[in-house]
Amino acid sequence: MNPQSETVHDETEYGDYDCEINALIYWLRHDGIEYDSLLRNNWDFRFDSLNDTFKGTIPLEDQLKHLELNNQMNYSLIRQPGELADESRLIVALDAFSLPYAQEHFRIRNQIHYTPVHYINRERIEIIDPIFKKRLFINGDELTGYWEHFSEPIIEIHGIGASRLEKPAEVYILQQDLDNYYLVTVDQLQKRITSFLSTNESLRSLHEFKRYYSLFNGMLVAREVFLRKWGLMDAHEEVVHKWKKLMKTWMGICVNPERNTPVFQRNLVELADYEVEFLRKLRL
């Protein structure tokens, strides 16, 4: 028998497309901690080949380090659920295959999914999922079952203060070699898409095709959040426009793969070049 979930109504800063940062922001909001500097720092352009994801926000570990550096919170990494202490506030990489409320994945496919977890005690553990907007109470054995497929270190959030003071943001992406950083990611993504599109299955019915569309949408949302927080949306709306154009050509591949795949590839390169130029100007 599956545990029963209930609906919650937590708003997410990044919509339904970025479980990592949404889980982190949940705990920051929970404790009334200002996190604008985190949002102003959060621009990335990376392909995670291990989990086959394309991300517009920086790695979770770097987000945590940013908050720790700004004296906004502390964290520790726990190797496995058996080491958790009562009343722990956590971010846990669960397998959506095991989550009864994750209908597209439940008992169908493995998918890593980060979510806030309140470990009250071994017999009562609360999952609060901002993406699916569900709350679920489970026990320690069930948590281990949900966690063990990916077995990522569990993040324990602790030592959060009440101060709303923040240091000026340092944009993560501006610390990178922009040309090489974007070139590597575009190359990785081009190869992955070429491999993906070589399948003989109907693209319209492919879960992965829809998932990639959601990933691109996640990139779009990440750009919108960043530009709003820096007050740059009006002056640099072209960044958002180029992501919308890319998503449109991705959907066009469903209709005519031979015609629209090269268009998509060109649009991706054009978008990457435009973002590199935008970020160079931001450095000044």
Residue boundaries of the structural domains of the chain:
5-158, 176-283
Q: How far apart are CA 121 and CA 139, in angstroms?
A: 8
Q: Quick one: pLDDT band at residue 281, thresholds 50, 70, 90?
A: very high
Q: How far apart are CA 105 and CA 182, in angstroms?
A: 31
pLDDT value at position 255? 84
pLDDT value at position 93? 97
pLDDT tens-digit profile of 156-203?
Answer: 998 665 554 445 557 899 999 999 999 999 999 999 988 888 876 666
| Residue 47 neighbours by CB under 8 Å, 6+ apart | 53, 54, 55, 185, 188, 189, 192
pLDDT value at position 55? 92
pLDDT value at position 117? 98
Q: Quick one: pLDDT band at residue 208, thresholds 50, 70, 90?
A: confident
Q: How far apart are CA 160 and CA 183, in angstroms?
A: 38
Q: Which CATH number is 5-158 given?
A: 3.90.70.10
The residue whose two tokens read 């948590």 is: 143
Residue 153 has pLDDT above 60, yes or no: yes
Residue 1 has pLDDT above 60, yes or no: no
pLDDT tens-digit profile of 81-139?
Answer: 999 999 999 999 999 999 999 988 888 889 999 999 999 999 999 999 999 999 999 99
pLDDT tens-digit profile of 46-86?
Answer: 998 888 889 999 999 999 998 888 777 899 999 999 999 99
